[in-house]
């Protein structure tokens, strides 16, 4: 199971939750590398972040998912609770730099406003940032990372709950090159659809109405740019269906230019996921 980041990353934690403690985990530097590991058969699955409840859609994940041809087989929402971790013996008053992923830094604006002498420094991932801080042996440096990363690298926790909002979750998906998901099972099922529409006004409204009439309660919709076609998009539509969703029957009622791929279909998770009526 490939994930993006270093050991101790939030993604590693999500991979263990989704695939079990026995899963053999493969850390990869970038999201593209994690999907490449699935494409070349090194990994069966990639566990990657899809959205964060403060920062929104994770850039890159949806495009990589749709390009990869992978299907989503499960998801989990993990609480994101940042600590400021540094060298054992270091103090917060001596810090000059805090390294982390740009999204993690952006979630801690209040902390950095209250501590103007600590400069945020953007790097690839939270756990990698902490590992580099520990290796540097520089007590003026710290990292914004998870509590389990701090434990993993033997770092001192200099401050906790660094994020601006306590309710901070990242939703991770488990994606692999598996047979197309079955949307005929018993619900409630969570479905993810990739949709391309004909160039005609009203096609998105008509599609959403048809989905609604088919019993789908949509939770989320995003425009995904088509590479090589500036300002053209496909849509990733997510929702919960009470029972089966007959995509062929749905397509028969829509504009013939409509293309729908079922990207994911799995039991609706038992996390804090509250579908929003749409």
Looking at the Cβ atoms of 61 and 71, the one nearer to its own copies is 61
Looking at the Cβ atoms of 63 and 73, the one nearer to its own copies is 63
- Is 271 one of the annotated active-site residues of the chain? no
Least distance from its own copies to the Cβ atom of residue 208, Å:
4
H/E run at residue 212 = helix 203-213
Looking at the Cβ atoms of 177 and 210, the one nearer to its own copies is 210
Q: How many C-beta neighbours within 10 Å does residue 90 have?
A: 19
Nearest to 126 by CA among 96, 163, 92: 163
Residue 6, classed as helix, strand or coil, is coil
Which of 35, 61, 126, 170 is an active site residue? 170
Least distance from its own copies to the Cβ atom of residue 169, Å:
5
Q: How many C-beta neighbours within 10 Å does residue 26 have?
A: 16
Least distance from its own copies to the Cβ atom of residue 201, Å:
5
What is the DSSP annotation of 240-262? EESS---HHHHHHTS-TT-EEEE
Which of 35, 45, 111, 172 is an active site residue? 172
- Is 45 one of the annotated active-site residues of the chain? no
Nearest to 192 by CA among 128, 250, 125, 245: 245
Looking at the Cβ atoms of 124 and 148, the one nearer to its own copies is 124
Contact footprint for its own copies (CB under 8 A): 30, 32, 51-60, 62-63, 77, 102-103, 106, 109, 122-124, 164-165, 167-169, 171, 197-206, 208-209, 211-212, 217-225, 227-233, 235, 272-278
H/E run at residue 68 = helix 61-68
- Please list the active-site residues: 170, 172
């Amino acid at each position: 199971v490939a994930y993006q980041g270093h050991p101790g990353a939030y993604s590693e934690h999500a991979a263990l939750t989704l695939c079990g403690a026995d899963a053999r985990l493969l850390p990869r530097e970038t999201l593209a590398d994690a999907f490449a590991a699935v494409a070349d058969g090194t990994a069966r699955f990639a566990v990657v972040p899809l959205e964060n409840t403060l920062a929104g859609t994770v850039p890159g994940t949806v495009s990589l998912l749709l390009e990869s041809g992978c299907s989503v087989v499960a998801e989990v929402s993990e609480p994101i609770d940042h600590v400021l971790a540094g060298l054992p013996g270091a103090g917060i008053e001596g810090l000059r730099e805090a390294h982390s992923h740009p999204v993690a830094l952006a979630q801690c604006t209040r902390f950095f406003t209250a501590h103007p002498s600590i400069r945020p420094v953007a790097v690839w991932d939270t756990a990698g940032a902490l590992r580099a801080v520990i290796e540097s042996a520089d007590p003026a440096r710290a990292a914004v990372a998870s509590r389990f990363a701090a434990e993993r690298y033997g770092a001192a926790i200099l401050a906790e709950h660094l994020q601006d909002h306590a309710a901070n979750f990242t939703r991770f998906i488990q994606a692999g090159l598996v047979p197309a998901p079955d949307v005929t099972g018993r619900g409630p099922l969570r479905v993810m659809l990739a949709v391309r529409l004909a160039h005609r006004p009203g096609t998105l409204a008509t599609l959403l109405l048809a989905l609604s009439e088919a019993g789908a309660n949509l939770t989320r919709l995003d425009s995904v740019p088509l590479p090589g076609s500036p300002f053209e998009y496909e849509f990733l539509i997510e929702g919960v269906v009470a029972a089966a969703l007959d995509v062929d029957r749905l397509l028969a009622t829509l504009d013939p230019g409509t293309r729908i791929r079922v990207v994911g279909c799995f039991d609706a998770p038992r996390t804090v996921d509250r579908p929003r009526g749409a």
